[in-house]
Amino acid sequence: MTDGPLIVQSDKSLLLEVDHPRAEAARRAIAPFAELERAPEHVHTYRLTNLGLWNARAAGHDAEQVVDTLIEFSRYPVPHALLVDVAETMSRYGRLQLVSHPTHGLVLQASDRAVLAEVLKSKRTAGLVGERIDDETVVVHRSERGHLKQVLVKLGWPAEDLAGYVDGEKHPIALSEVAAPRTPGDEPKPWSMRPYQQQAVDGFWHGGSGVVVLPCGAGKTIVGAGAMAKSGTTTLILVTNTVSARQWKDELVRRTTLTEDEIGEYSGTRKEIKPVTIATYQVLTTKRKGVYSHLELLDARDWGLVVYDEVHLLPAPIFRMTADLQARRRLGLTATLVREDGREDEVFSLIGPKRYDAPWKDIEAQGYIAPADCVEVRLTLPDHERMVYATAEPEDKYRLAACAPGKNKVVQQIVDQHPDDQVLVIGQYLDQLEELSAHLDAPLITGATTVRERQRLFDAFRSGEVSRLVVSKVANFSIDLPEASVAIQVSGSFGSRQEEAQRLGRVMRPKADGRTAHFYAVVARDTVDQEFAAHRQRFLAEQGYAYRIVDAEELDEVK
């Protein structure tokens, strides 16, 4: 027995004692293969899952490393059965390989004939494969490469894809040594990629395809630009909205040798296809007469690289499109791979494994994102509102709690405590946000706000002309507001962990004066609002962000 920080249990749970002197080293060591489940104050619970172990294997970690890590940090002897199970689970990855065959094109090749026989017997693989070449090899229809990978993950035999990529249409792209100024008249400034950004690009390129996980504000766009420069090919970039598309374009023009004429926007308002094309998920998933016509149009170009911004948000039609794009290099960018629908396995099988992951606190320690103070402000509902909530139908309870009228006063108090800060108020429900906008005399941005007006208000916020902004979930993703230092969340998408991370990310751009960012979640006590808040905070807790809980009546004493 050693005095390690980890307790490894036979049910595949790992308990990490947070206050142990070796806890941080253990957390880093298990991060590539273990998934966090709960993160209260003193003991964090991780779990070993098949997908986590396969992801680690695909990213270059072997079973011996995982076993050695568990043994090194465990306080008690590690259950032998668990170690055997880890080794056997990881050995499942790669017994089937997709490779290019000189005569038959794409084939599925097995190092274990029984495994091939098993998956071919499944009805799920019917129609995805062709003739049997020999006991170890079967032809795969090239168009079914992605679909087959999805099926094999679900069957428990994930294939290692070694079939390579088409070169794609060449197009010269290089990183500039000097960044063009954002404001006309300013001097251009020399710049280079940060060390972790370069490591992320190298990790992605070495692996071929996969996902890079970086905190909000840590420069995922720069990683995308670095990958494009490595590729030197035509590139399709998929983003969450039109504002994000234009931010990507501006950043690429500033940081690379690309000109505006080489970058096209494919959105609801523009339909340009150029050597670098930035398309919104929304327009690509628009159906006309039952057909995704825009998907087919974009698929017609010989892209060398496809970049997925906010990859954890991929809608189902984009998963289908990605299944058909397996011959192209694919880069996913995100702050968290958490998906509330459990479709992480599809990101793994269709985009690729996690190639680089930087803990938020590590990037903060290097000064590249701002430190953040997270506060949950709990509001007690008055008796008549509690009775309305108590007798409401289950489907109405969250909205009633989330939109409690008392939250307006709490938000005003918080805003008053930050008179010199740029403040974002973020919520889910439009009527609540309209009330807050009027109450605070602050502009409101929702999905109905035109792109032109959104950009005007964001620019006014960046310049300091506007210091308060009320925003709906349209501002959850890919909005660059470095001046924002306070975010107040009044309602959200139920218990969404990734939304919580994204909203904190709105205030984590580093401040010129080194100030701490502040993130407030205003929550109705003894309601599902409080339950959802606890679930939303799980991912951030794993990253080291502890929420202080403050009673709304004591708010005047807190800053």
pLDDT band at 257 (very low <50, low <70, confident <90, very high): very high
Q: Which DSSP helix (H) or strand (E) runs through 138?
A: strand 137-140
> Per residue in 352-368, pLDDT tens?
988 888 877 788 888 88
Q: Assess whether 484 and 526 both reside in one domain.
A: yes
> Per residue in 58-115, pLDDT tens?
888 999 999 999 999 999 999 999 999 999 999 999 999 999 999 999 999 999 999 9
Q: Which amino acid is at 496?
A: S
Answer whether 433's CB lies under 8 Å from 446's CB. yes
Is 429 among the domain residues? yes
Q: Assess whether 144 and 243 both reside in one domain.
A: no
What was the pLDDT predicted at 362?
81
- Dihedral, CA atoms, 181, 182, 186, 187, nearest 10 degrees? -10
Strand partners, 330: 306
Instruction: Show which of 73, 92, 111 is a domain's final residue.
Output: 92
Pairwise CA distance, residues 435 & 34, whole Å: 43
Q: What is the mean pLDDT of the chain?
A: 88
pTM: 0.83
Helix (H/G/I), strand (E/B), else coil: 253: helix
Question: Which has more confidence, 16 or 216?
Answer: 16
Q: Assess whether 352 and 381 both reside in one domain.
A: no
Is 137 among the domain residues? yes
Is 264 among the domain residues? yes
pLDDT band at 432 (very low <50, low <70, confident <90, very high): very high
User: Is a pLDDT exceeding 90 seen at residue 14?
Assistant: yes
What was the pLDDT predicted at 397?
92
Question: Which has more confidence, 159 or 537?
Answer: 159
Pairwise CA distance, residues 256 & 259, whole Å: 8
Q: Assess whether 182 and 303 both reside in one domain.
A: yes
Answer whether 281's CB lies under 8 Å from 212's CB. no
What was the pLDDT predicted at 478?
55
What was the pLDDT predicted at 137?
94
Q: Assess whether 403 and 495 both reside in one domain.
A: yes
Domain holding 36, by residue range, is: 6-92
Count CB-CB contacts under 10 A for residue 133: 15
151: domain CATH number is 3.30.70
Q: Calculate mean pLDDT across residues 241-268.
A: 92
Q: Assess whether 388 and 503 both reside in one domain.
A: yes
Answer whether 320's CB lies under 8 Å from 250's CB. no
Question: Which has more confidence, 337 or 179?
Answer: 179
Pairwise CA distance, residues 62 & 67, whole Å: 9
What was the pLDDT predicted at 504?
79
Q: Assess whether 423 and 324 both reside in one domain.
A: no
**Selection from 120-129, 280-289, 510-519 with the highest mean pLDDT:** 120-129
Question: Which has more confidence, 293 or 239?
Answer: 239
Q: Calculate mean pLDDT across residues 374-388.
A: 92
User: What's the alpha-carbon Rg for the chain, to the nearest Å?
Assistant: 25
Pairwise CA distance, residues 428 & 496, whole Å: 12
Is 168 among the domain residues? no
Instruction: Show which of 364, 395, 412 is a domain's final residue.
Output: 364
Is 173 among the domain residues? no
Helix (H/G/I), strand (E/B), else coil: 241: coil
Is 435 among the domain residues? yes
Instruction: Show which of 41, 59, 92 is a domain's final residue.
Output: 92
Percent of the chain residues topping a pLDDT of 90: 53
User: Is a pLDDT exceeding 60 seen at residue 460?
Assistant: yes
232: domain CATH number is 3.40.50.300
Pairwise CA distance, residues 406 & 80, whole Å: 55
User: Is a pLDDT exceeding 60 seen at residue 243?
Assistant: yes
> Per residue in 128-181, pLDDT tens?
999 999 999 999 988 899 999 999 999 999 999 999 899 899 999 999 988 877
Pairwise CA distance, residues 286 & 265, whole Å: 16
Is 166 among the domain residues? no
Helix (H/G/I), strand (E/B), else coil: 366: coil
Q: Assess whether 414 and 356 both reside in one domain.
A: no
Answer whether 89's CB lies under 8 Å from 22's CB. no
What was the pLDDT predicted at 151?
93
Is 334 among the domain residues? yes
Count CB-CB contacts under 10 A for residue 486: 23
Q: Assess whether 137 and 78 both reside in one domain.
A: no
- Please state the domain count of the chain: 4
* 55 Cβ neighbours under 8 A, 6+ residues apart: 32, 33, 348, 353, 354
> Per residue in 473-521, pLDDT tens?
876 665 667 678 898 999 887 667 777 777 777 787 877 777 888 989 9
> Per residue in 166-224, pLDDT tens?
989 999 999 998 887 766 667 788 899 999 999 999 999 998 899 998 888 888 999 99
User: Is a pLDDT exceeding 60 seen at residue 558?
Assistant: no
Q: Assess whether 352 and 249 both reside in one domain.
A: yes
Q: Calculate mean pLDDT across residues 304-316.
A: 88
Q: Assess whether 387 and 483 both reside in one domain.
A: yes
User: Is a pLDDT exceeding 90 seen at residue 342?
Assistant: no
Q: Assess whether 461 and 329 both reside in one domain.
A: no
First-to-last alpha carbon distance for the chain, in angstroms, is 45
Q: Calculate mean pLDDT across residues 315-325.
A: 83
